[in-house]
Structure 1
Amino acid sequence: MNLSELNETQLKQYLSEHRNDDDKFSSALRELMSRDPNPTWYPPTGWEETGRIIQQKIKEMEE
């Protein structure tokens, strides 16, 4: 699947559907984040904190 051909809504759906597949989730998130002209970068954290930040970001994008 060519993620660059998906619109933002489709990418969010793809993220939701593949949240347990690290490779697919990472690729889709990287594609989605690359579209933001002013991305927010977070300092390195543990996996639990990173997961919380990602889930929060997805929730914000769905609103």
Structure 2
Amino acid sequence: MSGALFLLKSVLSTALFVLAMMGSIYFLFIAFNSDEGPRGGGGTPTTSEEESLEEARRIMEKYK
């Protein structure tokens, strides 16, 4: 009985450790890669804010 309890405790401890490590690695991966912006499948290259505003102005002028 004591051996089975020790084995269960060891397996549970190992599983929780692995899950905690996977979670922390995932968190670090997201934290360090968040500066690239969203990667949508729209097919348009990433543009600066000024280019986006200029494009919006052109579209607005077109439909005045």
Larger radius of gyration: 2
**TM value normalised by structure 2:** 0.29
**TM value normalised by structure 1:** 0.29
Higher share of residues assigned helix: 2
